[in-house]
């Protein structure tokens, strides 16, 4: 099985309307090796079809769908998804704004796991991805990117993390909560560990968002263990999350 291959399609095919809320919970355990790549110099930025194309100082082996951390630009710093590649260039899924470089502009690969998606045969509506230092939620073509390292969290190989995502059209918010187990027991089932510690929380503004019914929730092959996926019809309050995630 190759990374990115579809592995499971669920019978549940529901989306949500602009007046509905959702919470999605699950556990993940990273399995990526060599999670961070080397820094590669950016020499220029060009406008390719309205997207930002980064010319690099050397030839590269980056692939479409990978995520790179961009630094030293005026408008594209942060985690970015590659949507096209050339011999010594990459195009990222961000609209072209300017070509201004600052300091030592560079990119660095971060290994990623895109593991749960909701899509039709022609369009992806929802996806969940993480790298060692970022968590990315995609809804209807918009990326909500959470800088885990800003709160001192890195998602390390072999460690279980409990994820709670609240999608609230009622309050125009999308929130990510990441928990770690205080003691790693080595048990296969992370739910059997004693207590959870909240290691990251951030809320972003969410415009009224709907996702159409009738398509497929799928698991994709990626370097992660995954268990206990659940979808709720309303957000889970922070004081309730420890209990819900431990069930």
- Whether residue 47 is contained in a domain is answered as yes
Q: Residue 193 above 60 pLDDT?
A: no
High-pLDDT (> 70) share of the chain, %: 92
pTM: 0.91
The residue among 110, 137, 168 that closes a domain is: 110
**Max CA distance (Å), the chain:** 52
Question: Domain range holding 58?
Answer: 36-110
**Using CA atoms, how far apart are residues 224 and 62, in angstroms rounded to an integer?**
20
- Whether 137 and 216 map to the same domain: the answer is yes
- Write out the DSSP string of 171-235: TTEEEEEEEEESS----S-GGGSS-EEEEEEEEEE--S--B-SSSEEEEE--SEEEEEEEEESSP
CATH of the domain at 47: 2.40.30.20
The residue among 91, 110, 129 that closes a domain is: 110
- Whether 129 and 223 map to the same domain: the answer is yes
Q: Residue 165 above 90 pLDDT?
A: yes
CB-based contact 220:7 (threshold 8 Å): yes
- Whether 143 and 178 map to the same domain: the answer is yes
Q: Residue 191 above 90 pLDDT?
A: no
- Whether residue 18 is contained in a domain is answered as yes
Do strands 51-56 and 89-95 pair parallel, antiparallel, or not at all (unpaired)? antiparallel
Q: Residue 174 above 90 pLDDT?
A: yes
Residue 99 CB coordination number (10 Å): 16
- Whether residue 1 is contained in a domain is answered as no
The residue among 69, 89, 110 that closes a domain is: 110
Least confident among 35-49, 57-71, 189-203: 189-203
- Whether residue 144 is contained in a domain is answered as yes
**Using CA atoms, how far apart are residues 185 and 193, in angstroms rounded to an integer?**
7
- Whether 116 and 40 map to the same domain: the answer is no
Helix (H, G, I), strand (E, B) or coil at 146: strand
Look at the chain and report how many structural domains it folds into: 2
- Whether 195 and 106 map to the same domain: the answer is no
- Whether 27 and 87 map to the same domain: the answer is no
CATH of the domain at 203: 2.60.120.200
- Whether 129 and 240 map to the same domain: the answer is yes
- Whether residue 174 is contained in a domain is answered as yes
Residue 17 token pair: 């309307």
Q: Phi/psi zone of residue 8: left (φ > 0), alpha (ψ -120 to 50 degrees), beta?
A: beta
């Amino acid at each position: 099985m190759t990374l990115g291959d579809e592995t499971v399609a669920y019978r549940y095919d529901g989306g949500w309307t602009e007046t509905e809320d959702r919470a999605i919970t699950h556990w993940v355990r990273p399995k990526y090796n060599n999670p961070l790549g080397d820094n590669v110099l950016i020499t220029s930025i060009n406008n390719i079809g309205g997207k930002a194309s980064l010319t690099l100082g050397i030839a590269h082996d980056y692939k479409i769908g990978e995520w790179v951390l961009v630094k030293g630009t005026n408008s594209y710093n942060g985690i970015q998804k590659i949507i096209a590649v050339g011999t010594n260039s990459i195009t990222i899924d961000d609209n072209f704004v300017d070509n201004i470089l600052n300091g030592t502009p560079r990119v660095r690969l971060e290994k990623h796991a895109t593991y749960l998606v909701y899509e039709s045969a022609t369009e992806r509506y929802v996806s969940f991805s993480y790298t060692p230092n970022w968590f990315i939620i995609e809804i209807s073509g918009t990326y909500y990117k959470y800088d885990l390292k800003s709160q001192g969290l890195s998602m390390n190989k072999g460690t279980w993390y409990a994820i709670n995502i609240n999608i609230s059209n009622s309050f125009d918010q999308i929130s990510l909560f990441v928990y770690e187990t205080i003691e790693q027991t080595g048990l296969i089932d992370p739910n059997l560990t004693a207590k959870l510690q909240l290691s990251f929380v951030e809320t972003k503004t969410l415009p009224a968002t709907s996702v159409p019914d009738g398509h497929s929730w799928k698991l994709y092959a990626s370097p992660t263990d995954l268990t206990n996926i659940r979808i709720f019809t309303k957000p889970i309050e922070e004081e309730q999350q420890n209990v819900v995630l431990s069930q």
